[in-house]
Amino acid sequence: MKRALISVYEKNKKLFNFVNFLYKKGYQIVSTGGTYQYLIKNGLSNVIEVSDITSFPEILDGRIKTIHPNIYGGVLANRSIDRHIKSIRLHKIHFIDIVLVNFYPFIEEMKKKSINSLIEFIDIGGPSILRAAAKNFLYVTPIIDDNDYELVQNEIVDYGSPSLILRKKLAGKVFNFTSAYDSAISQYFLMDDKFPIYLQSSYKKKMKLRYGENPHQEAAYYVNEMHQGAMKNFHQLHGKTLSFNNLRDMDIAWKVVSQFSEPACCTVKHSTPCGVALGKDIIEAFKKTYYSDTISSFGGIMAFNIPITKKLAKEINHIFIEVILSPNYDTDVLTILKIKKNIRIIKINESISDRLEYVQIDGGILVQESDYFFNHEENYQIVTKKKFTDQELQSLFFAQKVVKYVKSNAIVIAKGTQTLGISGGQTNRIWAARQAIERALEKSKKGLVLVSDAFFPFRDVIDEAARSGGIGAILQPGGSIRDKESIKACDDYGIAMAITGKRHFKH
């Protein structure tokens, strides 16, 4: 007679129905204490308790239940090896054909428990017996995911038992889950070690994406099970399914506006901010952002750090935006925005929390601290004869928070708290400077400031800024062997410049 071992933390109607199905199909049901009591209480008779098989009671508050040769022998025996069969028969051990286990919820409980109580949520027996079943998938069906009950049930109905193809797939899911489970525990104990010897990950698939960066590339979105994050807990309230590129641009747009306490708006296109502004209210922030680059804003991602108003919703409906992000939406605001059938409306109110960033390269992963959490406003040295005005200083530090998210080489031209010219991704800095200045001069000729993500290798950027006639202040990291040439150029032109000592490359 076939046997199924059932030992679960999460007990529900779905589980009972599946176990009842197995029982009706002739499986002997073997179970541990809590699960045993649940099944009996709900009317499933003739369940065998594990302690009856091991002839040993559960001990240490349930820490040891299934760890016994009478259980593991029935799971691990290779049924094609005669000496395994003889050993099983000699010790009067029964084969176990299905192992259904789910674990203590360590990941869920780690946010609530102290270390002493959390230790009890580190499952030992569950992962061990399930790994044993997965190792012996040639003969045993391992089940960790309740979404697989129906698959197993269907194959038992159709073929009498789960197929080898299904057993192999379920074994893979077991090792996939146990590795993530162990990874979560490891990360919890090593949380103060930013760069451990082995890089662990616990990411769970949130959604399958329509495609990747291009339609011929398959893609999926995974969220970090260990940590919170703005891109983990957002809610889509309307519109088409999000794409791979949408999610990347959403991340940047939200990081930009989250830096500011004033009403802020940011439009991102192709992973680069194309317009950013602050305002006395959200309408002003929107208008300044949009009119800073109306062409690039077309089909972009627009983020706001405070809720959208009815007046703003009507303004947004006059332009083409792919995605809107805001901390909240009143019902009447949503009604207005939903006039546009396909616009993706995202409610997001989580603060930025990821302190590490990961970039995959072929054969490896680069890991670094996030630049988001470094405050640079306190560290600057004015190196020119001319000093900043208070307005210039405010504008420079505003632009510096933007330049961090522009691809290097990056130049941002701003006036007040509005970007007027952004250029990045160039292979030399003078090209980026010329493009940013040209775009800025289309909108304003005076009161401009320039921020660079890295030092000036030559004085040519200063010369270009001076020719514009409108740039009066510059902020840059410094560190070039020709810094003195740049400083002299600023003094000759009457431009104020400060050096921060911190660059902001974004490759």
* Residues tagged active-site: 135, 270
d(CA 120, CA 103): 12
Q: How many CB atoms lie within 10 A of CB 330?
A: 13
**Placement of tokens 């514009």 in the chain:** 468
**Placement of tokens 């999610």 in the chain:** 247
> Are residues 258 and 352 in contact, defined by beta-carbon separation less than 8 angstroms?
yes
d(CA 459, CA 272): 26
Which residues are within 8 A (CB) of 376 and not within 5 positions of it... i.e. 6 or more apart? 397, 400, 500, 502
HEC profile for 314-358? HHHCCCCEEEEEECCCCHHHHHHHCCCCCCEEEECCCCCCCCEEE
First-to-last C-alpha distance (Å) of the chain = 62
Which residues are within 8 A (CB) of 231 and not within 5 positions of it... i.e. 6 or more apart? 223, 247, 250, 251, 254
Beta-sheet pairing, 381-382 with 496-499: antiparallel
Looking at residue 448, the DSSP 8-state letter turns out to be E
Structure tokens at 316: 């947004």
Q: Coil, strand, or helix at residue 257?
A: helix
E strands, 370-477, are 381-382, 411-415, 418-423, 448-452, 471-476
Measure Cα distances from 423 to 428, 445, 490, 497 in Å.
Answer: 11, 18, 22, 20
The percent of the chain in helix, strand and coil, each rounded to the nearest 5, is 40, 20, 40
Measure Cα distances from 352 to 18, 106, 250, 251 in Å.
Answer: 42, 24, 12, 9
Which residues are within 8 A (CB) of 240 and not within 5 positions of it... i.e. 6 or more apart? 342, 344
Element (H, E) at 219: strand 219-224
Sheet strand arrangement including 235-238: 235-238, 344-347, 321-326, 300-304, 264-269, 272-278, 418-423, 411-415, 448-452, 471-476, 496-499, 381-382
d(CA 183, CA 298): 42
